[in-house]
Chains A and B, each alone.
Chain A
Amino acid sequence: MMTEIHEEEFSDLIDTVKAASRGWIEAIAIISEDGTPLAHNSELEFNAEYVGAATAAICGAISAVIELLNVKNYRKADIQLEGSRYLLMRPYKGHYIVCLTKQKPNLGFINMILEAYLSEREK
């Protein structure tokens, strides 16, 4: 079930999360289930359309795989990239939040920040 939240609220949310991350998150975006970028905040050159499509594809593939295991939902997907960066994906109210971290990030801290701000996610 999708809850109606304005894009402005999404923008506020990702700005807050990025600011609270003490610089560990370099880029953050909210992507709808069909891959449309709803809001993003980045210090890097960031092609939101491309990231949105890729995120939707990855999350769709994860959902398909876990369905085979008779699991309906997942809470997070962390991908370690080359150069010790991480791509963190979290389902949030029918959308996806995707974050790109700095090199060798403090994942414990980032996870805590994401939990703190996204804990109202639907179950």
Chain B
Amino acid sequence: MDAFAPVFAALFTNSFFSLILSLIALILSIIALIYSRKAVKKTVPQVQAPKPPEKKEVEVKALEKPAKEAAPEKAPPRVELLQAPARPPPAEVKGIPEIKPKKEETTLGFDSLEDLATIIGMDSLLLFNMMGMSIESYNVSEENRVAASLADFVATIRKFDSSFNAVSIENDLKTMIFAVGRVGEMEVFALSVGKTELELEEVRELLKTYLSDLMGRTG
């Protein structure tokens, strides 16, 4: 051993050897740092996974992705139905005239809805409100059920088009569903079915006058 003593002494006193030693120490510490980071990466995802915000993102993405993938090409109405609730609730439809009770004697002379329907060539007439209540009808069976269905129909259309106030369907007979006017805060609608030559606006005006007369009739 004594024979090596001068060799060790020479090595430790040599500055080049100490430089090499320090380099080796530096390399070892870098390797240790790399391994420790790898070990941390392995453990950290397991701890962070249950965090609520990240999980929500994952859930949202998971929901959105299948919707985009699964959406068929011809499905615009379905998209509309899903978007509809996000729209603001339909407010009062503007442009619907107010109907007030007429105090003076009627100029039209319609004693009943039947008279009016006969004169304008309607087979059936129904006046109803948006609560689904029938106000008056002529030749409509189960008028309350029809009024409820029509009010629901109008409310449904207004979810998509809040300005909706009339629809006219012409086949053998002309069917019209339209807003007649507003009484206070109540909107009055009408259903008319028949072979009439009159346009929707003309029927609306006649019904407005009829309603005004009806409300003002106190005798």
Contact = CB atoms under 8 A, between A and B. Distances in A.
B97 interface: no
Interface size classification for chain B: 20 to 34
Interface in A72-108: 75, 106-108
Contacts of A19: 218-219
Interface in A1-29: 16, 19-20, 22
A112 B218 contact: no
Contacts of A112: 129, 135, 183, 186, 188, 211, 215
A116 B211 CA distance: 11
Given A116-B100, A119-B183, A111 B133 contact: yes
B147 interface: yes
A111 B183 CA distance: 10
A71 B127 CA distance: 32
Contacts of B188: 112
Contact of A115 (B127, B185, B216, B218): B185
For chain A, what secondary structure do more than half of its interface residues adopt (helix, strand, loop), or is it mixed?
A: helix
Nearest to B101: A116
A115 B101 contact: no
Contacts of B183: 112, 115-116, 119
Nearest to B127: A108
Given A111-B186, A112-B215, A117 B133 contact: no
A53 interface: no
A109 interface: yes
Given A20-B215, A108-B147, A118 B135 contact: no
B162 to A, nearest CB: 21
Interface of B: 99-101, 127-129, 131, 133-136, 147, 183-186, 188, 211, 215-219
Interface of A: 16, 19-20, 22, 75, 106-109, 111-113, 115-119
